[in-house]
Structure 1
């Protein structure tokens, strides 16, 4: 117990001695801290300020995508585009690396006047990529997003922020519209295949009917039957209704010749093909959708993009404060080291 009390008193004496040493040489600590703070302030005010422009984005409204859903009903076989579907396509384009690289080559890089000693394009792209930040505003990923760009020229970064979002919007619009057009084109091509198949089938049916009539006409002429055979009696209606196929010759050569002439002079079989007109109507409908001009908006701008007036870097007050704290720490270390060396030399003597 006595040893513990002795250790506590020794610690208190050492701490008081250290504080006394620091107090005696407080001006040295002050000047070191002041020097550090001065250098930090000089750095903060000499460093080129960096500004940040922000562009806020919201999902499109139903009216913005209404033109895209023209003709897309349950009966048409085409699914409707929802706001969430369209907005997801836009967000996917907005965050894609391909868009970032394309924007860098098309807009960002031409603005830089590079000389032989300047940084390589790869390094410049890395700096551009770090200066561009795309993030959701809040926890909902399908709601508001922001695009921010940092740079030394506030006017230029404001322009770039708007350009970047517009560029992503154009690409997303093309993707959505092309998807709608291709979907209609696939259905139109399917309809065309069905129409062609029915027309080919109708052509063969016509050829078969022609051959059957020719055979029936030959039999009628050989049998000397010019006019249609008339039946009497109880079974007359049944027999009269069976003048087709093998019994077609009973209609007489005159009727058969007239029917054969009519079939051979027919310009098109379309009117006699069941279900063809309905398919042709669907085909025309899908081709109309394929050729339509779609005017859609895949996002909405949420507020104006104001040109920044205050820089986000460097944070001058924070830099000066950190410089001051570092100076105080270094000053204290210098004072204590001097005191230690002084004691060491005195003990050596």
Structure 2
């Protein structure tokens, strides 16, 4: 037995009627408006109750060349305007510089201090969130774009203008002190080096002087020794000569006695005296040496007696007097005495005048860098006209959009929930219809 009964078609649960859904949502405009108004109210409360946050900035630019000319002319420290700007920028970014400023100006940072936090922790909160350093692009070499910009965000109740301006001044002063300290170290090292060179020149001079004195004394000693030897030899020679003369006189006296020559005579007169008698005056010219015994016994004995009684032969030799004179002069070397009596040795140092001039220049160099202008503060921090946060209109607009979105979502959800009961009833009818053919077939 067959049946032609057909169950009515039921729409699938996955099919949504968008037009009906939109109309249902539009019927809930008050609900959406209520959510939007609530969100706007919450956003407005936040926007007008949040602590305003302000921003100030300061711009630094390179100083003029003439500001650093005196420092560069000293030839002790070379610093260009750009390098000075970068040094100040490094000081502004330095953790140590910022912490030092924080410690020295704690009255300006009372708003950043929290109970239970150490000084360093309070500073860390300020350092991470408040100050930002902006540097120019390193690839840009144009002097117009060379600058350093320092920005600071701070909440209401904080004197951010004073903090930023004072911090810039503190960083510049800190870098100026660092340059002065570097200069002092450079000057001290240069003075130490010059002192070492002067000590070396002084030691070299003393060595040269001692060598000169030793050389002079050695020459004098050698000369004295030679003169003493010569004097001794001369005296010995004279002594021998005197002994030889006495021997000659003794021999001549014997001969004169044997010939009966008592008075000085000559060979011719001796011959004539034997042949003639009388007073005769003769003149004799003879180029031959007359023997000594012709001097006669009296003269020879007188000479021998004188020679035997002589105690010194020095007067017979002129060279001995000359040697005595030279020995007397060698007793004191005046050059050695003058060298030894020098009191101010430094004035005799050779080639140290430039070193002394450099020492004087370094000692007179003024290391007071208080007037040194490293950078130009092109723009100081000024009191801002309005806060940068919170942006009230933007927050309210975001609240409005969020409220509309949330209200719309709730309205859509309500519309979908309202459609579910009819869906359940249709599903029950469909189940009953599906069971009818089975009952008819059993009948």
**TM-score, with normalisation over the residues of structure 2?**
0.63
Check if 1:316 corresponds to 2:392. yes
Q: CA deviation at 1:330?
A: 0.3
Please list, as runs of the form range in 1=range in 2, the aligned pairs for 1:176-325 lying within 5 A after superposition. Answer: 176-224=179-227, 253=329, 257-289=333-365, 291-294=366-369, 295-325=371-401
Q: Could you say which structure has the larger radius of gyration? A: 2
How has the CA–CA distance of structure 1 residues 213 and 251 changed in structure 2, closer, same or farther, with 3 Å as cutoff? farther
Structure 2: state its 5+ residue gaps: 1-13, 229-325, 426-443
Please list, as runs of the form range in 1=range in 2, the aligned pairs for 1:120-159 lying within 5 A after superposition. Answer: 120-121=117-118, 124-129=122-127, 130-136=129-135, 140=140, 143-153=146-156, 156-159=159-162
Cα deviation, 1:121-157, whole Å, max 9, x if unaligned, reads 4653343120222213677598222222222346711
Are the aligned partners of 2:108 and 2:159 in contact in 1 as well (CA < 8 Å)? no
Q: Secondary structure at the match of 2:159?
A: helix
Q: CA deviation at 1:345?
A: 3.0
How has the CA–CA distance of structure 1 residues 313 and 179 changed in structure 2, closer, same or farther, with 3 Å as cutoff? same
Separation in structure 2 between the aligned mates of residue 206 and residue 127 of structure 1, nearest angstrom: 71
Q: Secondary structure at the match of 2:388?
A: coil
Q: Partner residue of 2:176?
A: 173
CA RMSD across the alignment: 3.0
Q: 1:344 aligns with which of 413, 417, 420?
A: 420
Please list, as runs of the form range in 1=range in 2, the aligned pairs for 1:63-78 lying within 5 A after superposition. Answer: 63-72=66-75, 78=76
Q: Partner residue of 1:23?
A: 26
Q: CA deviation at 1:331?
A: 0.4
Q: Secondary structure at the match of 1:313?
A: coil
**TM-score, with normalisation over the residues of structure 1?**
0.78
How has the CA–CA distance of structure 1 residues 155 and 62 changed in structure 2, closer, same or farther, with 3 Å as cutoff? farther
Separation in structure 1 between the aligned mates of residue 356 and residue 327 of structure 2, nearest angstrom: 36
Are the aligned partners of 1:198 and 1:273 in contact in 2 as well (CA < 8 Å)? yes
Paired residues in the alignment total 308
Separation in structure 2 between the aligned mates of residue 251 and residue 95 of structure 1, nearest angstrom: 84
Q: Secondary structure at the match of 1:302?
A: strand
Q: Partner residue of 1:98?
A: 96
Q: Secondary structure at the match of 2:379?
A: coil
Are the aligned partners of 1:32 and 1:328 in contact in 2 as well (CA < 8 Å)? yes
Deviates more, 1:50-59 or 1:142-151: 142-151
Structure 1: state its 5+ residue gaps: 1-9, 73-77, 226-249
Deviates more, 1:104-113 or 1:47-56: 104-113
Q: CA deviation at 1:52?
A: 1.6
Separation in structure 1 between the aligned mates of residue 39 and residue 155 of structure 2, nearest angstrom: 27
Q: Partner residue of 1:59?
A: 62
How has the CA–CA distance of structure 1 residues 146 and 127 changed in structure 2, closer, same or farther, with 3 Å as cutoff? same
Cα deviation, 1:78-100, whole Å, max 9, x if unaligned, reads 46321122222111111111122
Are the aligned partners of 1:55 and 1:148 in contact in 2 as well (CA < 8 Å)? yes
Separation in structure 2 between the aligned mates of residue 269 and residue 55 of structure 1, nearest angstrom: 60
Are the aligned partners of 1:50 and 1:313 in contact in 2 as well (CA < 8 Å)? yes
Separation in structure 1 between the aligned mates of residue 124 and residue 203 of structure 2, nearest angstrom: 62
Q: Partner residue of 1:245?
A: none
Deviates more, 1:100-109 or 1:300-309: 100-109
Q: Secondary structure at the match of 1:310?
A: coil
Q: Partner residue of 1:231?
A: none
Q: Secondary structure at the match of 1:112?
A: helix
Q: Secondary structure at the match of 1:149?
A: strand
How has the CA–CA distance of structure 1 residues 327 and 153 changed in structure 2, closer, same or farther, with 3 Å as cutoff? closer
Separation in structure 1 between the aligned mates of residue 42 and residue 111 of structure 2, nearest angstrom: 32
Q: Partner residue of 2:267?
A: none
